[in-house]
Structure 1
Amino acid sequence: MSATFLPYGRQAIDESDIEAVAEVLRGDWLTTGPAVDAFDAAFAEAVGARHSVSCSNGTAALHLALAALGVKEGDTCVVPAITFMATANAARYCGAEVAFADVDPDTGLMTPETLDAALARAEGTARVVLPVHLAGQCGALDELAHAATLAGAVLVEDASHAAGSFYRGEPVGNGRYSAAATFSFHPVKTIAAGEGGAVTTNDDAVAARLRLLRSHGIERDPARHRRQEGEPWWHEMHALGWNYRLSDIHAALAHSQLKRLPAFIERRQALARAYDTALQDLPDTVRPLARTRACNPCLHLYPVRIDFEAAGRSRSAVMDRLRAHGIGTQVHYIPVNEQPYYQDRYGRQDLPGARRYYERTLSLPLFVGMADDDPQRVVDRLAQVLGL
């Protein structure tokens, strides 16, 4: 694949995926059918959680998780400044406020120290802490959970990047440190559903609430109806929910992809090692993402830290020249606290770790369809573009 354009990420679809979707298309259920339940059961087993509740996308997963936990107006959710804006937006959908935590400038992750500072700013209103597993890598979940508990809050892991990652030898999403974990199955993620998401939890009541809210708050179980009419069409709306269901078409694709997760993990880790090796020959002005000790990540992204000022090149110029060489890159992410909506709401905030991380980050291509020599090719071109 070295002669073709390398995007920063893309899906890996094979004939087994196509056949899985075709089987649904030949059947009776395109939505609200058995493929959804089958995927939910398989994903829960894969991450070691009691429940997995799938939904339409990763943003919906975040919203559902917070809503199922009862987050409301008057509450505060702590969110790292380096993330996709959906992490913060989900809190606002519930009427809660957002306290932005600074991050380690070399990992982009919330730390126990930056969490403590954000909790202090929340002044006792923190209800949920949302650590983001940026690029697929976890921070100190045990320490973050302890700090959240002391503040009267719970952890909800934004694991949108982290399907296939492990923390202290256990799968991310198993609920050891959190009330829930949310996942995304967007095409560039490790598992693709086209669009899709899931929430995992070990709490039976939270799982029941998730299932209720993802389908308009409608209850169809006669045993749970407040009114017994005896009509087979009877249903009751018990909460104000949303149409966040995953279709059987998307669930079939995600389930097929899940069966290949071990191979995806192995391939992504091999490509990441190839990048790590290739980058060793470059000066310290270009470094890979710093790694945390307790996490064995299946990287969704491969961010590097580049001192663009020292190289005398702007990031946009580097990206343009790499694209001319057939290499796509992206920036993950602009600090969310600097988005106009959040600046208008909370004013300007000084989060130097997030600013430093953002100024240097650039995501290089990483997807399972890359050739063995593609990481070296990318690093060679990057060095050339930077004049190294």
Structure 2
Amino acid sequence: MEENTNIPFFKASINEQDEQAVLSVLRSGWLTTGKECLAFEKEFAAKVKTQYALAVNSNTSGMILAMEACGVAPGTAVITTPYTFVSTAACARHLGADVLFADIEKDTYSIDPDSIEKIFAQNPQKKIVAIVPVHIGGNVCNMERIMRIAKEHKVRVIEDCAHSFPSRTKLGYAGSIGDCGIFSFYATKTITTAEGGMVTTNDEQLCKRMTQMRLHGMDRTTWDRYTSPRASWEYDIIAPGYKFNMPDILAALGRTQLSRADEFDTKRKQHAAFYNRAFADTDFVELPPDSEGNSWHLYLMRLNNEKLDCDRNTFAKELQQAGIGISVHFIPLFQFTYWKNLYKDFTAENYPNAMKAYSRTITLPLWPDMTQQMLERVVQCVKETGERHHA
């Protein structure tokens, strides 16, 4: 690899099997939600060991379905973290609910159970109906404590699993522990359908409600309407539902990607281990948190600001100028205009752990098909940048 070759932040691993699966659907005459989607749901549920899985067109739409089924509505509130992508909290607002924010843990990116308990204690007047932990970068939150807190306060747990397939703990796979789990198959995720997601649950009633609300509140699926002997135009609307279904074109890609999930998982872990070894003795880098069953969706490199004469943004821009595709996960929600205007006490000062994590985190490239040369060049550029700015 030449010295100036750019390394993208992410490149999906697409092979001939993926291409043929999509072409097969295109040639089948059935493009929307059908047998491919049904098969994908069954295979995904079997993989994460849940009773039910519902394919949707994004993690965001899956989150809305799960929240609505769990009782999130005007006059209620959910607890989540400001250290997440905006959709986690925005979904509650779409449903008319308030959002109460808990800080993250000091040494991880995970929502802090102590902060969750404080919110319950300080808001006895609020009708809190759900806790929404976010498994950042592949690390699973402290679900043992979160489930205990939820049981004590009789609230639902909706796991945001956008980063955490196939993360696993002693309690089970991410997405199988709470009442619902919501996964993302966006282009940069551990498996992809280009756009799409999956909702998992072991609760039959939640599954039934989400199935109905997923497609306009109909009491019949499109596949059933057009393949069963019963007239296709005969259906009932039981609620003002949404248009959140996944088409078979995407589901076909999801199935072939799912068949390679363990291969992808192994490669990501190998790449992350290389980074960890390379940075182990670098004093301006702190290694990412690595909890049990981490799927290493992201490599969240943390800068030790005390060892540098520059801030995170300067460091990140210089990596980009060197051709390294980086990102930052995440901008805490209290940095955004909408949320600052909505809640007056929603400020960086009240969430010191989230602010500190944000101010020193850079996400490095981490994808299955990265070569050893690519990995070595990323490390070289990080070290050269750090050496230029070493305090």
TM-score range relative to shorter protein: over 0.9
Q: Quick one: structure 1 residues 373 and 70, their matched pair in 2 at CA, closer, same or farther if it must change by over 3 Å?
A: same
Per-residue deviation, 1:111: 2.0
Report sequence identity in percent. 32
Q: Quick one: structure 1 residues 304 and 11, their matched pair in 2 at CA, closer, same or farther if it must change by over 3 Å?
A: same
Q: What do residues 270-323 of structure 1 show as CA deviations (whole Å, max 9, x unaligned)?
A: 11111110111201x31121223xx21111110011134641123222222212
Stretch deviating more after TM superposition (264-273 or 314-323): 314-323
For the 8 Å contact 2:71–2:129, the answer to whether it is kept is no
Per-residue deviation, 1:121: 3.7
Per-residue deviation, 1:90: 0.9
The aligned counterpart of 1:53 is: 54
The aligned counterpart of 1:215 is: 215
2:304 is equivalent to residue 304 of structure 1: no
Q: Deviation above 6 Å: which 4+ runs of structure 1? A: none
SS in 2 for 1:187: coil
Q: Distance in 1 between matches of 2:165 and 2:2?
A: 27
Per-residue deviation, 1:353: 0.8
The aligned counterpart of 2:314 is: 317
Q: Under a length normalisation based on structure 1, what TM-score does the superposition of the two structures give?
A: 0.93
List alignment gaps of at least 5 residues for structure 1: 222-229
Q: Under a length normalisation based on structure 2, what TM-score does the superposition of the two structures give?
A: 0.92
SS in 2 for 1:347: coil
List alignment gaps of at least 5 residues for structure 2: 222-229
Give the letter aligned to residue 168 of structure 1: K
Q: Show the 5 A alignment for 1:238-277.
A: 238-277=238-277
Per-residue deviation, 1:23: 0.5
Per-residue deviation, 1:109: 0.7
The aligned counterpart of 1:151 is: 153
Give the letter aligned to residue 343 of structure 1: K
Residue-pair matches, total: 375
Q: Quick one: structure 1 residues 231 and 191, their matched pair in 2 at CA, closer, same or farther if it must change by over 3 Å?
A: closer
Q: Quick one: structure 1 residues 301 and 234, their matched pair in 2 at CA, closer, same or farther if it must change by over 3 Å?
A: same
Give the letter aligned to residue 334 of structure 1: I
Q: Quick one: structure 1 residues 96 and 5, their matched pair in 2 at CA, closer, same or farther if it must change by over 3 Å?
A: same
Give the letter aligned to residue 24 of structure 2: E
The aligned counterpart of 2:167 is: 165
Give the letter aligned to residue 80 of structure 2: V
SS in 1 for 2:281: coil
SS in 2 for 1:162: coil
Per-residue deviation, 1:345: 1.3
Q: CA RMSD in A?
A: 1.7
The aligned counterpart of 1:286 is: 285
Per-residue deviation, 1:216: 0.6
Q: Distance in 2 between matches of 1:54 and 1:335?
A: 28
Q: Distance in 2 between matches of 1:307 and 1:233?
A: 63
The aligned counterpart of 1:136 is: 138
Q: Quick one: structure 1 residues 338 and 122, their matched pair in 2 at CA, closer, same or farther if it must change by over 3 Å?
A: farther
For the 8 Å contact 1:164–1:298, the answer to whether it is kept is yes
For the 8 Å contact 1:313–1:386, the answer to whether it is kept is no
Give the letter aligned to residue 154 of structure 1: R
Q: What do residues 145-199 of structure 1 show as CA deviations (whole Å, max 9, x unaligned)?
A: 101221221211000001111112732222xx31000000001000100100110
SS in 2 for 1:216: coil
The aligned counterpart of 2:23 is: 22
The aligned counterpart of 2:224 is: none
For the 8 Å contact 1:78–1:119, the answer to whether it is kept is no
For the 8 Å contact 2:70–2:129, the answer to whether it is kept is no
SS in 1 for 2:372: coil
